[in-house]
């Protein structure tokens, strides 16, 4: 068993070209600047202005204000060829940061707790590098996207035409990943992240005295049966070889121990990988809720919607990224193919339009206390991977645009 420590040492001396390694202090400075000024989805004004200023300084052609706060830069190579897009998300989360670091969030109640500050810094590093090293065939489009954490900036950016003029042939992107140590990358063909669907349901019964249930229709009992029965969709309806989750995350009813309430409310999320299940969970859920409510004489209102589709990587793009990751990382821990997660990502919308590959760049370092999960108020990552991200993208461009 190879220790994480040796993997980190190997990475520290890893396959990052000197001109990109030289960017590392700036990558850290940009990331910390952004970390101190986190902004929620579609409110990334300071972030977009920071990006635009850097691109202007480097003479990189770009457009701002796409889907409110998105920025798109276009960097042509010296010869004609394909168009490869690189996507980075920019938004933060409504979390109060608990880290005590000099670069702590200065915006109360808002925090870069998912690493999107790092994604933006990596894409800026790539823009800086390409502005001086454009000896490739084709064009690189850098997409700085708002609101990944919801309600989603990818779809409005596509609707605004970011995949045209010039038409994008393929797309790549990465997520810093604290579920993996520094020195690992996750690259997978096919489904990497799950479809995200959401529901809200209101159950209406008939309230009354807690000692006289015969005069009531108890929405608490009805809700309890619904919560249990919904679990049977995954257990009994879905092919056991397919993965899926039904989670009821909220259940609210009542206000006193001896009162049967009139109504109950619940909400939750559904996750799965296979696109053929699109629409299926909503139908099954409605049928189950309808049946249970009918049998008790209760009524219901159900809202069910898809937030993001499943994120599906193209097989040949994934194999290109995997071979490059193997060159860059050069450690025995290496490149992990089994890295699926039930988390969702709106990069999925881009991958529905053009072939591409989204991958995980391991960023945890437990020895330094940098291993909190994403969306945790103490989340932080090992910044040494920033230049590795730039190197990955630079090599992908060189391989794709040759």
Q: Which residues are catalytic?
A: 91, 148
Burial-class residue 397 by CB neighbours within 10 Å (0-12, 13-18, 19+).
buried
Nearest distance, CB of residue 173 and Ni ion, angstroms: 11
Give the residue with the Cβ less far from Ni ion, 112 or 274: 112
How many angstroms separate the CA atoms of 261 and 259, rounded?
6
Q: How far is CA 98 from CA 113, 122, 318, 378, in A?
A: 10, 24, 36, 5
Backbone phi, then psi, for 154, in 5-degree steps? Answer: -65, -50
Q: Which is nearer to Ni ion, 75 or 113 (CB)?
A: 113
Cα–Cα distance, 180 to 375 (Å, whole number): 15
Closest approach, Cβ 34 to Ni ion, in A, equals 14
- Closest residue to Ni ion, judged by C-beta, is 114
Q: How far is the CB of 345 from Ni ion (least distance, A)?
A: 7
Dihedral over Cα of 250, 255, 257, 260: its sign: negative
Nearer to Ni ion, 67 or 114 (CB): 114
Question: Shortest Cβ distance from residue 360 to Ni ion (Å)?
Answer: 11
Nearer to Ni ion, 37 or 284 (CB): 37
Output the smallest distance, CB 172 to Ni ion, in A.
16
d(CA 30, CA 64): 19
β-strand partners of 198? 269, 305
Neighbours of 75 (CB within 10 A): 24
β-pair type (79-89, 137-145): parallel
Tokens, residue 125 = 């590093």
Q: Of 117 and 391, which has the nearer Cβ to Ni ion?
A: 117
Residues that bind Ni ion (CB under 5 A): 114
Question: 113-139 b/e with 16+ CB inside 10 Å = b?
Answer: bbbbbbbbbbbbbbbbbbbebbebebb
Taking the complex as a whole, how short is the minimal distance between the CB of residue 229 and Ni ion, in angstroms?
33
Locate the DSSP E strands across 296-397: 299-308, 311-313, 335-336, 356-364
């Amino acid at each position: 068993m190879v220790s994480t420590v040796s993997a980190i040492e190997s990475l520290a001396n890893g396959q990052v070209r000197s001109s990109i390694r030289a960017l590392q202090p700036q990558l850290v400075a940009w990331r910390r600047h952004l970390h101190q000024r986190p902004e929620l989805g579609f409110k990334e004004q300071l972030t977009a202005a920071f990006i635009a200023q850097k691109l202007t300084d480097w003479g990189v052609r770009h457009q701002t204000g796409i889907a409110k706060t998105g920025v798109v830069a276009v960097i042509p190579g010296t010869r004609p060829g394909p168009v490869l897009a690189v996507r980075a998300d920019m938004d933060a989360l409504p979390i109060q940061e608990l880290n005590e670091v000099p670069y702590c969030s200065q915006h109360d109640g808002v925090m870069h707790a998912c690493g999107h500050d790092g994604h933006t810094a990596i894409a800026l590093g790539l823009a800086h590098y390409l502005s001086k090293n454009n000896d490739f065939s084709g064009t690189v489009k850098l997409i700085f996207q708002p609101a990944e954490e919801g309600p989603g900036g990818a779809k409005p950016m596509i609707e605004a035409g970011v995949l045209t003029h010039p038409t994008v042939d393929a797309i790549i992107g990465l997520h810093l990943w604290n579920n993996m140590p520094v020195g690992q990358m996750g690259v997978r063909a096919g489904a990497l992240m799950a479809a995200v669907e959401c529901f809200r349901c209101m159950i209406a019964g008939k309230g009354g005295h807690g000692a006289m249930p015969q005069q009531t229709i108890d929405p608490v009992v009805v809700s309890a049966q619904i919560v249990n029965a919904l679990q049977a969709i995954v257990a009994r309806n879905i092919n056991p070889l397919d993965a899926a989750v039904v989670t009821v995350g909220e259940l609210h009813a009542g206000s006193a121990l001896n009162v049967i309430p009139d109504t109950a409310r619940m909400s939750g999320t559904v996750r799965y990988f296979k696109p053929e299940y699109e629409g299926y969970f909503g139908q099954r859920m409605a049928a189950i809720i309808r049946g249970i409510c009918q049998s008790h004489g209760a009524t219901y209102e159900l809202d069910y919607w898809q937030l993001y589709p499943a994120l599906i990587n193209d097989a040949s793009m994934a194999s290109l990224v995997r071979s490059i990751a193997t060159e860059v990382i050069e450690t025995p821990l290496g490149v992990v193919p089994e890295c699926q997660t039930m988390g969702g990502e709106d990069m999925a919308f881009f991958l529905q339009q053009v072939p591409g590959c989204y991958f995980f760049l391991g960023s945890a370092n437990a020895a330094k206390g940098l291993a909190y999960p994403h969306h945790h108020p103490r989340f932080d990552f090992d910044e040494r991977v920033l230049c590795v991200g730039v190197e990955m993208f630079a090599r992908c461009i060189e391989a794709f645009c040759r």
